[in-house]
């Protein structure tokens, strides 16, 4: 537990919220701050869904599947997903 006190909030969440799929799927979504990955052990999503885009079709999320590799996206913004981003609403 002493090691977790030295981590930044993003680093701590990366150790707690482990995604089901790895980044080697080829999707550019992994580097986007709007991408919300499926967590390991989650029972809800279909087997081919790797995550959701929280920006496209808001308030409903756009599903990102494993077999349709996303190479270009008009809402791509580099960063880490954060559910509440107060800077976006100013």
Per-residue pLDDT reduced to its tens digit, 26-82: 888 888 888 888 888 887 777 788 888 888 876 677 788 888 888 888 889 887 765
**Beta-strand runs (E) in the chain:** 35-37, 49-53, 62-65
Q: Is the pTM of this model over 0.85?
A: no
Residue that wins the pLDDT comparison between 24 and 2: 24
CA-to-CA distance for 23 and 10, rounded, in angstroms? 17
In this predicted structure, what is the pLDDT of residue 34? 85
Q: Sheet harboring 49-53: ordered strands across?
A: 35-37, 49-53, 62-65
CB atoms < 10 A from the CB of 19, how many?
Answer: 17
């Amino acid at each position: 537990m002493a090691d977790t006190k030295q981590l930044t909030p993003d680093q701590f969440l990366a150790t707690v919220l482990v995604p089901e799929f790895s980044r080697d799927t080829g999707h550019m979504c992994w580097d986007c701050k709007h991408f919300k990955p499926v967590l390991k052990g989650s029972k809800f999503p279909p087997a081919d869904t790797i995550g959701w885009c929280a920006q496209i079709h808001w308030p409903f999320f756009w599903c990102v599947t494993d077999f349709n590799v996303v190479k270009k996206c008009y809402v791509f913004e580099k960063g880490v997903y954060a559910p509440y981003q107060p800077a976006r609403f100013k």
